[in-house]
Amino acid sequence: MADAVIFDLDGVIVDSEPVWEEVRRAYVAAHGGTWQADTQRRLMGMSTGEWARYLSGELGVDRSAEQVAAEVVEEMTRRYAQRVPLIDGADEVVRQLARRWPLGLASSSPTRLIAAALAATGLTDAFGATLSTEETARGKPAPDVYLAVAERLGVEASRCVAVEDSSNGVRSAAAAGMTVVAVPHGAYPLDPDAERLAALVLGSVGELTPEAVDRLG
For residues 131 and 106, is the Cβ–Cβ distance under 8 A?
Answer: yes
**How do residues 135-184 score in pLDDT, each as one tens digit?**
999 999 999 999 999 999 999 999 999 999 999 999 999 999 999 999 99
Residue 86 clears pLDDT 80, i.e. is over it: yes
Q: How far apart are the first and last CA of the chain?
A: 5
**How do residues 90-127 score in pLDDT, each as one tens digit?**
999 999 999 999 999 999 999 999 999 999 899 999 99
CA 103 to chain centre: 15
Pairwise CA distance, residues 158 & 156, whole Å: 5
Question: Cα–Cα distances in Å, from 48 out to 20, 65, 128, 140?
Answer: 12, 9, 23, 11
User: For residues 119, 123, 129 and 133, what is the CA-based torsion angle, rounded to 10 degrees?
Assistant: -60
